[in-house]
Amino acid sequence: MVKKDSKWRQAVIYQIYPWTFHEDTGRTPQKGIGSLKGVIEKLPYVRNELGADAVWLSPFYTSPMKDAGYDISNYRDVHEDLGDLKDFKDLVQAAHDIGLKVMVDFVPNHTSDQHEWFQKSRNKQDDYDDWYIWHPGKKDDKGNRIPPNNWPSVFSIPNRRARERGEMPNLKKGDWTPAISAWQWDDSRGEYYLRTFSKEQPDLNWSNPMVREAMKENMRFWIDIGVDGFRFDAVNWIGKNMSFEDEQINTAYNEDQFENPYDQYLKFNSCNYPELLHQYVWEICEVLRDERYEDRDLRIIMEAHLGESDLRQLNDVAPDVAAAFNFGAMKLRWGVMERKIQIDYYYQNLSDKAIGNQVNGNHDTSRLATRHGDVIARTAAVMNLFLPGMRFIYNGEELGLHDANVPYDRMRDHENGYRDGERTPIIWNDHEKNAGFSKADDDKLWLPVNRDDFGISLFRQYTDPKSSFSLYRIAIKLCRDLPAVQRGKYDPLRTDNIEVFAFERRDGDEKVVIAVNFDSHAQHSVITTDFTQGKVALSSIDVDQNLQNVNLADGLHLRPNEALVILSAE
């Protein structure tokens, strides 16, 4: 069972991307890179101004940075550009002092090729022979050595870009751009190793119990320092079919619609292999259940890219301590039908023991306001915050920041996923150098500052009661003050307008209705529930509504794409 008083139950979790969040003002010389001390300086903002309950830190570990730190070469130390272990301990202390929990990213599927384990494995040293997934490959008709199967690398987008640059002249019009193989030849060992992501990220062999034990030890290391939870990276890849069967072709793949050649294949063997995935997840979760952590309120959130029914099964593995991210809002287009079906299905199938979650964005996805535009970004924010469970906010989302156009020569991610646009620095203000992110010269910045967003800096939004920041701040406070939102379950409501989606949360006599107009025109809708007189507590458009009276039975007037939060007045 989830602890009754678990603070994770309706927590707002703020994802910090440490490389571009904030460089501490005291660091000399300034490096142009965020720092853990810089994060500490901004914790009061996250807790006291925005009102979040926890931070999730993207990787800050020692790493050669081939995949923005998701290629870890030492699981127990801090990257020197970000600070050191002492800074991390200070960060945990500072966070706890003001009531913030700390969740850290944890990467179980792969390490960096610079990790000592891989170095030893490639040389078959000690017991490390079998710590990664090695294979001699097979021979083609002409006797040439080829990879053992057709498993593709997730990072196959660079092939699309290479083709656009005219670097694949042999492909005919209409031919699919090939995916990059997930197998990498290693000269020193004379075998292929599996690397689902970049070639510098070899996959660990989770079928080896020593690997599992070592990863659990790494988790204990951070729990003992004081962290309250983990975001488990790319977890669906740890469960693979170790008989290495080929993946089947995805017949729905169409090069005009899918950006990534990785999607040419269905994924039943190279990942998402339920028997093993569930067993390993169960085992990881045991770490948190250890008696020695009885007094702690620990939690895991898993990044798993699965269909809704597989996701449901994964959520049932250890609902007391772990759940998978619910990426519905992030992956679906803005349409009332798809969103309503997904939300209904998600909550109906979530066990009572579990904690659900909502996510509108992260460091792998185009920013919310870029994906949907500024108006819908605010509507989506209200939906996210008022639905049950843990609510994730990607740093800068509260300001409505947009993707930046990062020039090719400044990109960090051009060999992987081209995700730099959503990772540029936070726009704290428009009067300090680099928007208050760092005082280093522009060419030293980890990623350039998006000048197009200077007008929506935090400084400018802070005093504007209708700003995106004010919307988040007031909505989060309202959620915290309303027991119905803290405790009530998700109840879909009937409306008489197909464009209007509504749901209710209730606790005893307290009832809260959230009504959302998905259309870009004004709409009118009757909302059916057991009360009719309500007061509008919040609008996604202009925030404060002075508790204006409404009658749900007469119908609500909703402006284009407006979300309203209505309290029962009976």
CB of 562 to ligand GLC, least distance (A): 32
Regarding 394 and contact with ligand GLC (CB under 6 A), the answer is: no
Burial class (CB in 10 A: 0-12, 13-18, 19+), 45: middle
* Residue 197 CA: distances (Å) to CA of 159, 182, 193, 194: 14, 7, 12, 9
Q: Which of 23, 263, 303, 562 binds ligand GLC (CB under 6 A)?
A: 303
In the block, residue with structure tokens 């959230």: 514
Query: In 3D, which of 247, 326, 234 has the Cα closest to residue 280?
Result: 234
Per DSSP, helices labelled H in 15-104 are: 36-44, 85-97
Residue among 58 and 468 whose Cβ is closer to ligand GLC: 58
Residue among 67 and 504 whose Cβ is closer to ligand GLC: 67
Sequence length of the chain is: 570
CB of 343 to ligand GLC, least distance (A): 23
Regarding 234 and contact with ligand GLC (CB under 6 A), the answer is: yes
Residue among 70 and 192 whose Cβ is closer to ligand GLC: 70
Residue among 255 and 364 whose Cβ is closer to ligand GLC: 364
Contact by Cβ (8 Å): 381, 347: no
Q: Which of 12, 43, 92, 107 binds ligand GLC (CB under 6 A)?
A: 107
Contact by Cβ (8 Å): 544, 562: no
Q: Which of 23, 113, 186, 233 binds ligand GLC (CB under 6 A)?
A: 233
Residue among 20 and 568 whose Cβ is closer to ligand GLC: 20
Rounded to 10 degrees, the C-alpha dihedral 423/427/433/434 comes to 20
CA dist 345 and 28 (Å) reads 52
Contact by Cβ (8 Å): 68, 412: yes
Regarding 422 and contact with ligand GLC (CB under 6 A), the answer is: no
Residues contacting 227, CB < 8 A, separation 6+: 92, 102, 103, 104
Q: Which helix (DSSP H) or strand (DSSP E) does residue 391 occupy?
A: strand 390-394
CB of 303 to ligand GLC, least distance (A): 6
Interface with ligand GLC (CB under 6 A), residue total 9
CB of 399 to ligand GLC, least distance (A): 21
Task: Print the binding letters for residues 189-218 with ligand GLC: x by CB under 6 A, - otherwise.
Answer: --------x---------------------
> Does the N-terminal peptide bond of residue 29 adopt cis geometry, omega within 30 degrees of 0?
yes
Q: Is 558 helix (H, G, I), strand (E, B) or coil?
A: strand
CB of 240 to ligand GLC, least distance (A): 15
SS3 content of the chain, % helix, strand, coil (to 5): 30, 20, 50
CA dist 230 and 558 (Å) reads 39
Residues contacting 57, CB < 8 A, separation 6+: 16, 18, 39, 102, 103, 104, 105
Residue among 67 and 87 whose Cβ is closer to ligand GLC: 67
CB of 325 to ligand GLC, least distance (A): 10
Regarding 70 and contact with ligand GLC (CB under 6 A), the answer is: yes
Residue among 87 and 303 whose Cβ is closer to ligand GLC: 303
Residue among 51 and 69 whose Cβ is closer to ligand GLC: 69
Residue among 36 and 301 whose Cβ is closer to ligand GLC: 301
Regarding 65 and contact with ligand GLC (CB under 6 A), the answer is: no
Q: Which helix (DSSP H) or strand (DSSP E) does residue 515 occupy?
A: strand 510-517
Regarding 420 and contact with ligand GLC (CB under 6 A), the answer is: no
Interacting residues with ligand GLC between 252 and 281 (CB under 6 A): none
Sign for the CA dihedral angle at 71, 77, 83, 87 comes to positive
Helix axis angle, 274-289 relative to 308-315, nearest 10°? 40
CB of 386 to ligand GLC, least distance (A): 26
Tokens of 261: 């050649």
Regarding 67 and contact with ligand GLC (CB under 6 A), the answer is: yes
Query: In 3D, which of 560, 502, 519 has the Cα closest to residue 340?
Result: 502
CA dist 427 and 315 (Å) reads 36
Residue among 234 and 318 whose Cβ is closer to ligand GLC: 234
Contact by Cβ (8 Å): 485, 503: no
Regarding 304 and contact with ligand GLC (CB under 6 A), the answer is: no
Catalytically active residues, by annotation: 233, 303
Q: Which of 364, 491, 507, 544 binds ligand GLC (CB under 6 A)?
A: 364
Query: In 3D, which of 381, 441, 415, 3 has the Cα closest to residue 198?
Result: 415
Q: Is 175 helix (H, G, I), strand (E, B) or coil?
A: coil
Q: Is 355 helix (H, G, I), strand (E, B) or coil?
A: coil
CB of 46 to ligand GLC, least distance (A): 20
Across the chain, how many H-helices and E-strands are there?
Answer: 14, 25
Q: Which residue is at the shortest CB distance from ligand GLC?
A: 70
CA dist 528 and 535 (Å) reads 16
Q: Residues in the site for ligand GLC, rule: CB under 6 A? A: 67, 70, 107, 197, 233-234, 303, 363-364
